[in-house]
Every structure is written in C-alpha cells, then in structure tokens.
Structure 1
Amino acid sequence: MSQHTLPLPSHAALDALLQPQDRAFHPIEGLRRLRDAGLDQLPLPGHGATLLRWQMLAAIAAIDLSLLKLYEGHTDALAILAEIDGPGVPASSSWGVWCADMPDARVQLQQAADGRYVLDGRKAWCCGANGLSHALISCWNEHGQACLACVALSQPGVHVTDEGWHAVGMLACASVDVTFSGARAFPVGAPGAYLQRPGFWHGGAGIAAAWYGAACAVASHLHARAQHATPDPVRLAQLGQIDCALRAASALLREGAAEIDRHPQSDATALALRLRLTVEDAATQVLHLATRALGAGPLCRDARFARLVADLPVFLRQSHAERDQAMLGGIVAGAEEHPWAL
C-alpha cells in the first residue's frame, strides 16, 4: 500500500466499526476489527504522511484509550519491523511492544547450543498480553547489551500472569506481568538498534497525538453542553481556555509531523519531548476545566465519559514529567542562540 493512500475514516465510521458502547466490546476485539479492515496499515513515520498516521492515533484515542494502547503498540511494532528489517509479519497477527524495563523485571536473551535464541525472565507492563499473538520485547544479551527480540506468545515457556495491574483507569488494556522460561525468540536488529534508530523518537512523538485525541474527546462533551444549554459566562470562559490550549497543541503537532517528514533521519529527541510536554499540559488543563464545567453529572451517569476521564490521567503518565522537562531544557541550553524567534 502506498504511504499516502490510507483513507482517514470519519469518527462515525470508526464508531460504527468498533461499537465501544456495546458491553461485549473488548480492546482486543477492537484491534482485530481495525486490523481486518486494513486500518492498521498506517503510513510509516517520516515517509511523507506522518500527520495522517497521527490523525488515526488521535481518532482511535477519542473513542477508547485502552483500545488505542493496543492499536498504537501494534502499529508501532509494524513500523519498527519495517525500519530495522525484522522478520515478516504473519497474516492475522496482532503485536505488542513491551519495552519498559524495571530493575526487578528483566528478560535475558541467550543463544542455546543448537543456535536457537531463548528468553528467560519476567517482563512488566505487558499491555494486551492475554489477547495478542506476538510481541517485540526489550531484553539483555549475555554481554549486557540492550536488544530487541520478537516472540510468539502462544508457545510453551510464555506465561501471562494476572499480576502487576491494579489501576481503575486503563483497566481494559490489562498491562500485566509476563514470565518467560526458555521461550523461542528471534533477535530483531543489532544490539542497541531499537533505541538508536530515528523512528524511536518518531514513535514517542506519536503518543502525544493520542493524548491530544483523548483530550479533544473530553473537550467535545463541554462543547456539546455549551451548544445546547443556556449561555453561562463561566462555562464559556472555560471553553475558551480549552480552545486556546488545544489549538496551540494542534499547531505544534502539525509542525512536528511536517518536520519529521522533511528530515526523517534527523535526531527528533527535542521535537518529541516538546510535543509530549506541550500536549500533556494541554490534556491536563482540559481534564481540569471540562470536569469543573460539566459537574458531577457526566462523571457519574455517562459511562463513556467517566471511563475516558479515568483512563486519560493514567495514560498521560507515560510522560516522565519534570525529567523530560529537564532533558529538553538541557538540549535547549546547548543551543548557541535562543531558538524562539518568530
């Protein structure tokens, strides 16, 4: 498929395909529907249509954030495999990217005497582990080097626990711990390639587009109330603040997508950090203002809105907050001249 031909479905079309209001809906089923409709074949970052890729992430996030978490992981895996010449993707497979490491939950990649590679250890934050067919996993080889491996999840030696996830927000993504015991795996790229490739920060920037889509969904409830209720100066002021925050974030996302497409091999660290921090601030402001303006009603009586505002704060914690601010500040401080001329 051409990198520019994927049509962006309307919100109504996505809603009809996914039907998240159906009590039987589950994010894994939603991912299957998107995959079967060909909507997982997103333009690769830096190939001229990065904005379209981000618009799709934002559109899914506006519908259901647990689904978005699985969808983003699946589409990120496809992009990673394309960028570092990974193995082929089996038909009807669904992928996760499990690359968060904790000191007490690390996975070792070792080569057995027969030449096969196997995984041993415990991996935390394995989103969708109960329903995916494959995963890309960060691991460590016998030389202490960071590596990436792909693993089929239905084989012996892979055990999905029910441990590690107690949050109410993002509950449906079931980001549990998985243990590996001699599970067959295949190295993807050279050691360090996953972190060193240009697309690492392209993917990190794309998360900001998902945060943005969810924030817009929260704001849309206030917009609908303002359209159909008696004019209220306080509520309109809150809506005005939200409009400024979201439009500023949107402009920066569009600028960032264009920059990635113009310079796909450039270091996108600062760009990604700036986008993530800006959109995180905007989403946090939207949550604060919209819930104050709308009151308890939708929080208690609108299941979809209540789930969204419970999910979004948890999802936003993929940001590293002040640590990311400090990292960006260090990059800015290293510039020869101030970078803010209009």
Structure 2
Amino acid sequence: MGHDAQGIDAVLADFARRPNVPMIDDHLREAMTLCIERGLDRLPVPGSGQTLLRWQQLAAVGGIDLALLKLYEGHTDALAILQELACAPFTEPGIWGVWAAEPPSARVGVSARNGDEVRLNGRKAWCSGAQQIDYALITAWTADDQPQLVAVRLDQPGITIDAQAWQAVGMATTASVDVHFDSAVGHCVGESGAYLSRPGFWQGGAGIAAAWYGAAASLARTLHRQRQQGRPDPHADAHLGSVDAALHGASAALHACAAWIDAHPEADARLSVQRVRAQVEMAVEHVCRHVGRALGATPFCRDPQFARLAVDLPVFIRQSHAERDLAQLGELLAARETEDWSL
C-alpha cells in the first residue's frame, strides 16, 4: 500500500488545529444603534405588569438574529438593572452590556474607592460584544471579598480587549472576549451584593429563555412555509406536528411564568425561572432536531438567516448549564414540602 507509518490524524494535526478566522460584523452595531434610535430598547422592566411584552420583544429579536439579540438583551438588561438600582452613571447615550461571568481564573478587583468612583484591576472573561458596545456593567470584588456591580466606560485608558481565545463558529460575531482592566475607572452601581439580591436578577434570567424560544420558532416557521408549499410528505408533516407541540408547551410555560412574576414582583422567582428555562431548553433542542431532519441541507446552505440561526442557537442555549441547572431545580423542589403538580 505504501502508506507512511504515521497516521493521517498525526499528519494533519496542525491543519485540524488551525485557528478560526476572527469575525467582526459591523452591521451588528448599526442594527443595535437603529434599535436605540427608534426606541425599541425601551422595554417594560420585569415584574412591572408587562413582563410578557418584554419577553415577546426579546423573542422577536431572537428570531431575527441571535448575534444581534446578544447585544440587544445585554443592553436592555443593563437598562433594567440601572432602573431597578436607581442609578444613572453616564448621561451620553450608547450601547450597554452586562458582564457577570465569574470563572475562577478571571476576576476583577475594586481598589482606591472615592465615593462611588473606583479603580478596577484584573481580567474579565466572557465579555460579549466588547468590540461593539460603549458601556458595561461588570461584577467585581472589593478588598473584603464582597461582590460589587460597577459601570464602566469602555473607551478609556486602562481597558484592553483580547480576542485571541475566541474561536467560536456559532455566535462568532458577538465575540465574548477577555477584557483586561489596569487601574480603569468605574462607578459603583447599588450597594455591595445588590446585583444578585434584587428581584430582577431571577426575573431577568427568564428573558433569555424567551430569546431561545424566538430563535426556535423562527426555524420552525421555515418548516411551516415549506409544508405549505411543498408536495405531500407525511414524514415532514410529522416533524411539523412534533415541533408545534414542543413550541406550544414552551409558549404556555413562558406565559405562566410571566404572569407569576407580575403577580409577585418582589418575590424570589428562582423556582419559576429555573422551571421555564428547563422547559424552553428542551423544546428548543427538540425543534432543532426535527426541523433539520425535515428540511435537509438546503436551508442550512442557501438561506442566510436560517443558516445563522441554526449554527448560533446550539451555542446560545448553552447559557443554560444543562444538568447542573436541572440539579439546582431538583434541589429547590426537594426542599419544598409539596411538589405542586396537581392539574
């Protein structure tokens, strides 16, 4: 045969590990700026009596483009947080983000506090949209190891962006990069610990599930249009029926959760939110599987919006922590005297 003793995997190892080409989509900032100019970012805050309306808007943007939704959700979340904590650190308009990931290897510390102004040092990971936004709310840590929410202006000395580690294909253009702080100026938002203790923390956590839902519903609409126009195909119709059942259940769960939050705006919404996130995640994974099997390769290769949603959504729903979140839900239920499963 004449084959080299080295296996093909060893011969092509460098090729397999080649870096993905960095991607920056200037259209994202343009689209986000347009949303702000048209007032489309002025959503009802969670628990205001119009929580469902807020989630419907998140779902609508999610069904258009998930990279845009990532910017839009972060911006509208920041506006809701600032309103809830009664803070307006900057007067100039701009695009906001919220960076609250806390991996053990990346931490930002607060130092040299003067009133509400502080200096920030350290590295923040998973900073979505850092190359496209103007302001960020970040979680940082005080000298006595207490969490503090801080607002920062990104166009200042002492802030640098490192995008080398971002190798995503799905959600590539949002670039959740590392940001380094070297004595950068920040402004405290709320008291220490207020970010996590406020009712809006868990209320806002369900909004992302509405965005998952919107993207899945958009993929499902492609299947629905194909079944309206295509030749008779009972297998494709079965996939459509399965998709409809999953989406209908997820929609009902989102409606019920929004109504509960509006009826209990100051309550701890964790149980309701953990439930609805789990329900929507399962529905989304079901929809992705059945839509792909029903439609085949064509929309993945020839429909730009469908193709982006299809590659972005499996990455985006990993904002759920899968079995870890389910374990937390089970732990909450196990601590309750009743399970509340009566019809």
Give the TM-score, by structure 1 length: 0.91
In the TM superposition, residue 314 of structure 1 has moved relative to its aligned partner by: 0.4
Describe how 1:75-224 pairs up with structure 2 within 5 A: 75-112=76-113, 116-224=117-225
Comparing 23-32 with 185-194, which one deviates more in the overlay?
23-32
CA apart distance, 1:114: 9.3
Task: State the one-letter code of the partner of 1:139.
Answer: A
Measure how far apart 1:164 and its partner are.
2.8
2:69: which partner in 1? 68
Distance 1:88 1:341 in 2: 47
Q: Does 1:238 align with 2:267?
A: no
Contact kept, 8 Å, 2:212 with 2:317, in 1: the verdict is yes
Counterpart of 1:7 in structure 2 is: none
Give the Cα–Cα distance (whole angstroms) in 2 for the partners of residues 202 and 164 of structure 1.
Answer: 31
Rounded to whole Å, the distance in 2 between the matches of 1:195 and 1:45 is 15
Name the CA distance, whole Å, in 2 between partners of 1:59 and 1:112.
41
- Structure 2 gap segments, 5+ residues each: 1-23
Name the CA distance, whole Å, in 1 between partners of 2:33 and 2:117.
31
Q: Secondary structure at the match of 1:103?
A: coil
Q: Secondary structure at the match of 1:125?
A: strand
> What residue number does 1:274 align with?
275
Change (3 A) 1:160 1:25: closer
Question: What do the CA deviations read for 1:254-279 (whole angstroms, capped 9, x no partner)?
Answer: 01111101100111001111111110
Contact 1:26 1:172 in 2 (8 A): no
Q: Output one character per residue of 1:122-167: Cα deviation in whole Å (capped at 9) or x when no partner.
A: 1111111112111000111100111110000001011112233111
Query: Partner amino acid for 1:294?
Result: L
Aligned amino acid, residue 182 of structure 1: S
Aligned to 1:47, the other structure's residue is in SS state: coil
Residues 240, 298 of structure 1: alpha-carbon distance in 2 compared, 3 angstrom cutoff: same
> Would the alpha carbon gap of residues 114 and 83 (structure 1) be closer, same or farther in structure 2, given more than 3 Å must change?
closer
1:200 aligns to what SS in structure 2?
helix
Provide the residue aligned with 1:305 in structure 2: 306
- The DSSP-based 3-state class of the residue aligned with 1:183 is strand
Q: Partner amino acid for 2:313?
A: L
Q: CA separation in 2, counterparts of 1:182 and 1:269?
A: 36
Identity percentage over the alignment? 52
Output one character per residue of 1:84-114: Cα deviation in whole Å (capped at 9) or x when no partner.
1222452421100000011111100112579
Is the contact made by 2:89 and 2:151 (CA closer than 8 Å) also made in structure 1?
no
How far is 1:243 from its partner? 0.4
| Distance in structure 1 (CA, Å) of the matches to 2:226 and 2:37 | 36
Say whether the 8 Å CA contact 1:125–1:164 is kept in structure 2: no
Counterparts in 2 of 1:77 and 1:114: CA distance versus 1, 3 Å: closer
What is the one-letter code of the residue matched to 2:326?
Answer: Q
Q: 1:237 to 1:129 in 2, by over 3 A?
A: same
Distance 1:116 1:267 in 2: 30
Which residue of structure 2 lines up, in the alignment, with residue 226 of structure 1? 227
The DSSP-based 3-state class of the residue aligned with 1:316 is: helix
The amino acid that maps onto 2:185 is R
In the TM superposition, residue 331 of structure 1 has moved relative to its aligned partner by 1.3
Determine helix, strand or coil for the equivalent of 1:82: helix
How far the C-alpha of 1:27 sits from its partner, in A, is: 1.6
1:327-342 → structure 2 map (5 Å cutoff): 327-342=328-343
Deviates more, 1:81-90 or 1:157-166: 81-90
Contact 2:107 2:123 in 1 (8 A): yes
Runs of 4+ in 1 over 3 A off after TM superposition: 112-116
Larger Rg: 2
Q: Equivalents in 1 of 2:50, 2:84: separation in Å? A: 16
Q: CA distance change for structure 1 residues 334 and 58 in 2, over 3 Å: closer, same or farther?
A: same
Contact kept? 2:116, 2:187, Cα under 8 Å: no
